[in-house]
Amino acid sequence: MHHPPNVLAALDRLIIRRRVRDYSWIILALSAAATTWYFTVGDYPISGGNDVVFPDFQARWTGARLLLDGRVADLYDPDVQGQLQQTLVPGSVGLSWFVSPPSAAILYLPYALFSYSTAAALRGVALVAMLTASVLLARRLLPDDDRDYWVLAVAFLASPPVFEVLITGQDSIGVLLTVVAAIRLLLRGRDTAAGAVLAFGVFKPHMFVLAPVALLVQRRWKAAAICAGLSVAAVAATLPVVGLAAWRAWLAVLSSPKFESSVQGGQAWLMQSVASMLTELGAPHWVAYPILLAGTVLVAARLWGETDTLRVWAVVLLGTVVLSPHVLTYDLVVLLPVMVYVHRAVNVRTVRLSAVALVLVLWSAGPRHIVAVRSPGWGLLDVPWSAVLLAVVFWLMLHPRPDPPDPLVGTRPRPSDEDATP
């Protein structure tokens, strides 16, 4: 009896180690060339794209600069921020709005001691250093004899999130370094140190919303207590500097119409969560909160008592991306530990095909957005469909198959190590 060809199986057979490695190197080289052009063609600190280099860093530098000048009351005033940026960074266009918590302004105070040109250069060095440290630390999450990690690492470095981090100066790479360091410490039984490291979440709290779940499901009470205690202490330590009013102002900004329209709405095409996708399709913004609550309960229920620390954190990190209301493309850098876990334990066809599709969807986000904006009736192109692919992988990680994952090359014979899927 004749059976029609399995298209998915045929596509999966194309995903071999050699192709992943070679195409990743090609994309990485093109990304490096584009990044070099971006930073060198313009009149620094204005980029080749005629905007300021590291615009997201500029927002945090602005908050720190206002704090350094004693203008705490103006910390979240967009008009004051815009005027300061145009005054201190000639050629700066538009507004890089500081909407991070007051603790972030304190963290960036050392940068505010320098001109923006110098501060941005220092930030570039720090970004590369944190990225390098994260990749090297994550290597220890796999056995020493696993030689596929460096293929994974190149694929990670060639990904759109890493490119965006290096273009925008985003501090998401700091989140990755924090999480990888914490996982390493937990695996070594150093719960106190891990809890202290995770307390850095107060500087970007929405990316650590599920971190307490990861500690509680494994009954790591000491780590949870240290993390909670130091987080409260860190917030309390900011009060003599910024006062309680600054924290109130920050919360007010997050619920303001301007934030809803210019950040949540204006950047919806860059968002990665299920809630953002539904919002772009017409759902009300408040749908994000029941999704986050239900997802948190599901994660806790599925992981309760889990002894595999890497699995717990892989699920929690991907769950944060899928469930958190505010996750953009550059925040996906936190998924490096997820890539490691998937390679080790969930290397099945659906995941491999979803990963390839995710890369294509992410790289095409910019062109799709341009077409959607300029062509009425093409609004569906602007929807962050990557959320579907991320949710599929998240579901498979929550409900692992009882049988072992697919072989590295699916069901076909493995002719050589060079043809192994990463």
DSSP for 315-347, written as a single string: HHHHHHHHH-S--BGGGGGGGHHHHHHHHHH--
Residue 49 has a pLDDT of 76
pLDDT of the chain, 422 residues: tens digit per residue: 455 558 888 899 998 889 999 999 999 999 999 999 988 888 898 887 778 999 999 999 999 999 999 999 999 999 999 999 999 988 887 888 999 999 999 999 999 999 999 999 999 999 999 999 999 999 999 888 788 899 999 999 999 999 999 999 999 999 999 999 999 999 999 999 999 999 999 999 999 999 999 999 999 999 999 999 999 999 999 999 999 999 999 999 988 888 877 777 778 888 899 998 998 888 888 898 999 999 999 999 999 999 999 999 999 999 999 999 889 999 999 999 999 999 989 989 999 999 999 999 999 998 998 998 888 888 898 899 999 999 999 999 998 765 444 444 433 333 344 444 44
CA nearest to 345, candidates 315, 323, 303, 301 = 315
Answer whether residue 289 is part of any domain. Answer: yes
Number of domains in the chain: 1
Answer whether residue 142 is part of any domain. Answer: yes
Residue 105 has a pLDDT of 94
Residue 325 has a pLDDT of 84
Residue 373 has a pLDDT of 87
Answer whether residue 153 is part of any domain. Answer: yes
Answer whether residue 356 is part of any domain. Answer: yes
Answer whether residue 94 is part of any domain. Answer: yes
Answer whether residue 1 is part of any domain. Answer: no
**CB under 8 Å, gap of 24 or more: what pairs does 226-229 form?**
226/191, 226/192, 226/195, 226/196, 226/199, 227/195, 227/196, 227/198, 227/199, 227/201
- Print the domain residue range for 317: 15-412
Q: pTM for this one?
A: 0.90
Answer whether residue 341 is part of any domain. Answer: yes
Answer whether residue 7 is part of any domain. Answer: no
